[in-house]
Structure 1
């Protein structure tokens, strides 16, 4: 049951959440002022998947 729910979550929202964090993090890393915020968003992107360590 847990595997099925993880797959459903990944398809419906997890992939889009990951892409949003990744895009925003890379966009913020363009400026010097935004680099610390970009790094935080990139770390959040790495933890946004259902298989990420909690």
Structure 2
């Protein structure tokens, strides 16, 4: 069981990695969005949701 990882790379690389996880049966991903302010973190979280949907 993997308890933590980091998604680093281009959006395409992250999208592909999320697709691999989905194909492997992963159905839950917990995100801890980066950013110095709440607005930064919310923006990062929103983009992550878009990438998950596109995977």
Coarse TM-score class (shorter-chain normalised): 0.3 to 0.5
Relative to the length of structure 2, the TM-score reads 0.37
More helix per residue? 1
Relative to the length of structure 1, the TM-score reads 0.37
